[in-house]
Structures are given as structure tokens and as C-alpha cells.
Chains A and B, each alone.
Chain A
Amino acid sequence: MSIRDSLLAILDQGPCYGYQLGYEFEMRTGGSVPLNTGQIYSTLERLDAAGLIQSSGADDEGRALYTITPAGREDVQSWLSTPVPHDMRRNELATKLALAVSLPGIDIAHVIQTQRHAAMNTLQELTRLKRNSSSSVDGLDLGWSLLLDAHLFEVEAEVRWLDHCETRIARAIAENVDLSVPLNPDPPKRGRPTRAPASSASHTNATPKGADNVR
């Protein structure tokens, strides 16, 4: 979540004090991304240094009013029109299952089942929250409800993927494929691992036994 861009987008509506920005941000995002005062002011300092906002300097009460600059407005427009990339490095669950499926002696079905229970419980909890939240009367309620939806869809996708994994593993086992790949007694001395994601075409040699089954 880009706090910098979010604060700038709020400032695009008109000049604000620092604490006011924190309030506006949290109100509109349902408190899903907690902001502390230190973060707000260090962000504002950086925005000021980059020429995207201007500070009025401290008034009698020690408060500074921040105003967006034309360069800042341009930044907001470019943020809104830039897609948020999918973060491929941070799928802890996918990494865990990828490991568990090839390491010998792991009850992968149990790992999947445990995960699905947790995911379904999360879905039930989110659904209850959603049912209890007021039906949209303004943008704030709708924003909160859409945030809940985002979590719901994300966890649903997780469950669907778990089902998919389960079916593929069951199929492989039914075809008598041995999924387990023991530790390599003769590991490469140095350098990068021999198996990288499918994109690398340079790893066609030295396929460890069974590694293709993991795909």
C-alpha cells in the first residue's frame, strides 16, 4: 500500500494538516492500514523535499498546513492510472506447498486440509462481518464493504487453489508417480539453485528426479 500516494491523493482535495490526513486516510480505508504519526510526518517531509507538496510552516499552535503542488497533482493522476502489480514474491502458502509436495514423508493432504479449514473459517468470519455491516449508504460504507469483499475473493481464490492442488496431487498419486524428491547428496557447490521458475530456459539439463511432477 503506497502511503505516499494515498496521502497525496487526499491532499489533491485541498490543504490539510498532518493529523487530518491520518484521519481522512483511516476513515476511508476502514482502518485496514494503520498509520502512525511518525509515518505521516516522515512521508510529508519526503513529499515536500520532492516538490510535490508545500508546507505553510508551523503556526501559533505548532501545526503546519500542507498544500499540493502542480507536480504533486500530476503524480496523483499517474498513480491512479497505473495498475498495481501482482506481488509474486510474497505467496507464503504457495511456497510452503511447493516445498511440502516434494519433501519426502510429509502428509501433504493434511497440510492442505488444515489450510482449508482455516481459510473457510476466515471466509465465514468475513461473511459475518459483511452481513453485519450496513448496506451501502455512502462511499465510506461501500469502501469498507469492498475491502471486505477483497479479502473474501482472495481467500476464496486460496480455497479454489487448494482444491486444485488436492486434485492434481491425488491424480499424480493415482498414476503411481512418486512425488518425493530426497535431498540431493551432491548439491551444487555454489551459485544459484538448479531449478528456477519455468521462465528460465537455461535449465533444461540436470533435471532432478521427479521435479517435473511438482509442476
Chain B
Amino acid sequence: MSGSAHSAANAQPIPAVRHDRDEIVLELSSVSRSYGTGDTAVTALDEVSLQLRRGELVAIMGTSGSGKSTLLTIAGGLDRPTSGRVFVNGTQITGLGAKKIAALRRKTLGFVFQDYNLVPVLTAIENVALPLELDGISARAARRSAKYALEAVGLLELANRYPDDMSGGQQQRVSIARAIVGDRSIILADEPTGALDSVTGESVLSMMRQRIDSGAAGILVTHDARHAAWADRIIYLRDGRITDETRANTLDGILATGA
């Protein structure tokens, strides 16, 4: 990206909304989630608000039990908040029925979990194609998209392997391919690097980041500050509440001044 290319782009008319990098793709508005009632009630999330924009990766950090996974499952429509609203691409999913949420999820959202969650009896490419096929896309078209997603994570040569015959890092890359397959534009990852060595973990993040840079968006739950640093913003949760946030700072001579 040279300076002249940049100024030329600036001279162009404003691009279509779909590619607007400021577009909010996911929003949580005063979301709370509690479990149980009375004395034994646990407030896992307490009035959490959060906006995720296209091209943005937000990391969530916090001690065990602070509500990170709860936030992610609610953001992805896998769980419903006790109160508050969730919007995905402008649609309030908290008002939708289960079937409609599931359909929206399959089209728009991709999940990556610490334990990969691949279907053991399906090959890598079948695992990646599965959500598309569930969505009624023809087997052939789903396979073509799956191939493309596997290529994006550098795993095309293992397309016909079963999960059990792959290393942890390879399985995690398959699960990233599954999360980005088709047109899915929001990646939600819960400790995706937890079980991986540092170099493999980095390559998984690098893939997520590339996908997000090319127009998707994502939330990354992690315990590892080094991995959170791949994000544009880092949000800290404690007892179900957002207690702090770090944004990327400007390019300064960090190396010269140190931490």
C-alpha cells in the first residue's frame, strides 16, 4: 500500500455500505445473564455493552469465571441473555425464534473453540463444508467453498484426513476454516490457542487476523496477553462487568522507550 495508492483511493466516492469498515456488525446492549434464582443466583454477565466493527478484532481477557465464555455464547446466539439486546448485522437476534437464530448463525457467525469441536467421523473438508450443507447449499458448492477455506488456512493437502489423524494445531486450523467458510463475517473464538504451542498458536492468530483484515470481524477470548495483542482493542472482564479497555496506541518509538 503506497502513499499514492492511498490518496487515489481517497479520491474515490465513498464505497458501498457493505465494505464500510466502521459498520457495526455485532452489538451487545446492556446484556446481563444470570443463572439460578434467589440466594444461589450467579450473575455471569452484568450490563455489558460492546460494539464490534467490520475489520476489527476485539480481545477479551479476565480471570476464570469472569464471564468471557458467557459473553461469547450470547454474542453468537448460542445462549440468550436474561436481559439486554444483541444485534448481528443490525438484526436484533434476541427477538428471534430459535430456528431463525440458528439460520443466521450458520450464515454469519463462525465459532472456534479451545477443543476444536470437529466431528470425528467426518474428514477435514467435510467438517468445513458441514455448516454450509446444513444451510441447504448444494454438496458440490459447499465442497468448493470448503476447499477455498482450507486453502486459506494452509491445509488443503490434509483435506481428506480425519481429525484424529491430525495434530492439535492442524485441527484448530480446520476449525478456523469452518468458522470462515462461505460468507461468514464474524469469528468468535474462545481460547483457540489454549492447547497449542507458541509458534502454532501464533499462526492460528495470524490466520484469524488476515481474515478479519480482509473484511470480517472477530472476538477473541484469551488468557495470553501476547495473543490479545493481535487485537485492536482489549476488554477486561471481572465478575461479569467490563472493568477496563486498552486500545491500540499510535506508532511511537516503543522499542526505544520500553514498556
Interface residues of A (CB under 8 A from B): 32, 113, 115-129, 131, 151-153, 155-156, 158-160, 163, 167
Contacts and interface: CB of A to CB of B under 8 A. Distances in A.
Contact of B229 (A118, A126, A160, A167): A126
A99 to B, nearest CB: 18
Contacts of B229: 120, 123-124, 126-127, 152
Contacts, number: 61
A140 to B, nearest CB: 17
Q: What are the nearest 6 A-B pairs in CB distance? A: A123-B229, A159-B225, A125-B254, A156-B226, A120-B246, A127-B229
Interface of B: 63, 206, 209, 224-226, 228-231, 234, 244, 246, 248-249, 251-252, 254-255, 258-259
Of A123, A131, A167, most B-chain CB atoms within 10 Å? A123
Contacts of B258: 122
A156 B225 contact: yes
A117 B229 CA distance: 11
A121 B225 contact: no
28 contacts: A32-B255, A115-B259, A116-B246, A117-B246, A120-B225, A120-B228, A120-B234, A121-B246, A121-B249, A121-B254, A122-B259, A123-B225, A123-B226, A124-B229, A124-B246, A124-B248, A125-B252, A126-B254, A127-B229, A128-B248, A128-B251, A131-B206, A131-B209, A152-B229, A155-B259, A156-B226, A159-B225, A167-B63
Contacts of B63: 163, 167
